[in-house]
Amino acid sequence: MAYLVLALSAFLALSGATALRPGRRGLFAALAFPVGWAAGELAGQALVVEALLIALLHWWGWPRTDGLGEAVIALAALVAAENLALVAISFRSRSVVARAIEGAPDRALALARPGEDRFGTWWRTALQFSPHPRGMEIHRDLAYGAHPRNRLDVWRLPDAGPGAPVVLYLHGGAWTFGDKREQGRPMLHEFVAQGWVAVTPNYRLAPRDPWPAPMQDAVAALAWVKGEIARYGGDPERVVVAGGSAGGHLAALVGLAGADPAWRPAGVGDELDLAVRAVLSYYGVLEMTGDEDHWHGLGEGLVRLLEHRVVQLPYAGHEDLYRSISPMERIGRDAPTFLVVQGTNDTLVDYRVARGFVARFRASAFAPCYHVELPFTQHAFDVTASPRTSATTRAALAVATAAVATREPTPPALAASYQVPPTVLEVDLAGRYVGALEAASVLGPYVVVTPDNPRSVPTPPEVNARRRAEMAGSLAGLGLVAHPTRASDPTGAWPSEEGFALSGLGPREATALSRAWGQYAYYEVTGEGVAVRDAATGARL
């Protein structure tokens, strides 16, 4: 019995060491994910098992062999130290997540506290078990296409809606396996408990159905949501797409390039708007060329998987194809809000992939990108309802809720007060404010966007000043030349606002910038006049 306890304790000690410092070579690399994931996410259970082993040995009879008892105690102490450290790391994730969201470089968000979760109670977190919320309705296996894998489930509470926000969750599995009922459950249960409608589709899998089949199905599932989710209480205009690993890749591509004609399934017309409000990418494969500047030793394995099973075309000679399916290469100024969650101990997707994506996003897009980097955290950590998963779920809810904030139609009186005249719109050119049309003779056509008073709610001057500083920094980071502006309504119907004049933005980019800063409208100025454009549609008000 002593030798059995010694062997099991040694395994637990090795598992804990693998969770803390996973190997990246040979057999250690192969075991790093399955062993390290279990040890990292089930540290509390490992402590209980080790305690039971010691109690069993004590009951059986403590070994009298010289050194054997001491070896058991030493290993038990090591197991306890490792797993207590892993438990502490899981709880420390709360502060890591809070700093990432509440201290974001622009448009920081307030995060709910642990006690404010509606479903992630302390006992579920302790057990790391996430059953369905009581009373949750599940509409199973609804068809969104002709293939047997084109089936999805809709999760909702009976009182959700009408007009509830929607989260579309795409499962992971290296594009070759996985199921809609297996992943993201703790996060989705909290979303449903908070009044969201969750949609979880299956999609065709490689190698039987190679790329672009998974992406086409992801787009088809989104098209189904846009057309049908109102029947289940959801709002088709307030959709967030999420996913983990390969699902995080598909979610990112849906958000960045879902309207690409190459991926639009048959029967989905060009007139259907496939825009989403935000993307929640958990340990997503956000770079698909295997660039070792990001992958650090893991890129060769990725490319081999893509070449032989997923894309089924060699990278050499098809570089443009591989870049086109890489979210990092598809970031535009009009990208939706992103949340990128990544663990530093991930042995399947290197954490520097997420860092590279976030850096490029923040240098390219108007919308905010929130980045949560979790220390000592392995791939697929969110399968269990741990303190770490609860923390990242609160981040996901904060980002998603901000992105889908309701926007009423612009009131006619407010739209009338925006017009120039009566509003006086001026632009700062070389330290001197001039009229909007005079500025157009110097700048050419331009747009004016303000960060003041988001959603047309009067905001304290100090908050508006902070938002203007954030917007100025964001625009400068994007390499855009911004001229300060001021708009004042002499009738007093609306307070004066300051903003920025920007040349060279097309309609899609102008509306994206306005939406990103919570605005109802923006100005379009040409030599012929000043037009007020709706920030949601670009239509003239």
Report the catalytic residues: 245, 346, 379
Residue 191 near residue 157 (C-beta atoms within 8 A): no
**What is each CA distance from 289 to 184, 299, 301, 306, in whole angstroms?**
26, 8, 11, 9
SS (H, E, C) 157-209: CCCCCCCEEEEEEECCCCCCCCCCCCCCHHHHHHHHHCCCEEEEECCCCCCCC
For residue 303, the surrounding DSSP H or E stretch is: helix 299-305
Cis peptide before 212 (omega within 30 of 0): yes
Residue 327 near residue 357 (C-beta atoms within 8 A): yes
3-state secondary structure of 310: helix
Ranges of H-type helices in 419-517: 436-443, 461-477, 507-516
Contact residues for 90 (Cβ-Cβ < 8 A; gap 6+): 43, 386, 387, 388
Give the single-character DSSP code of 411: P
Give the single-character DSSP code of 401: H
Tell me the residue ranges of DSSP E strands in 393-537. Answer: 424-429, 432-435, 446-449, 482-488, 497-503, 521-526, 529-534
**What is each CA distance from 396 to 84, 240, 261, 390, in whole angstroms?**
27, 10, 30, 10
Residue 203 near residue 217 (C-beta atoms within 8 A): yes
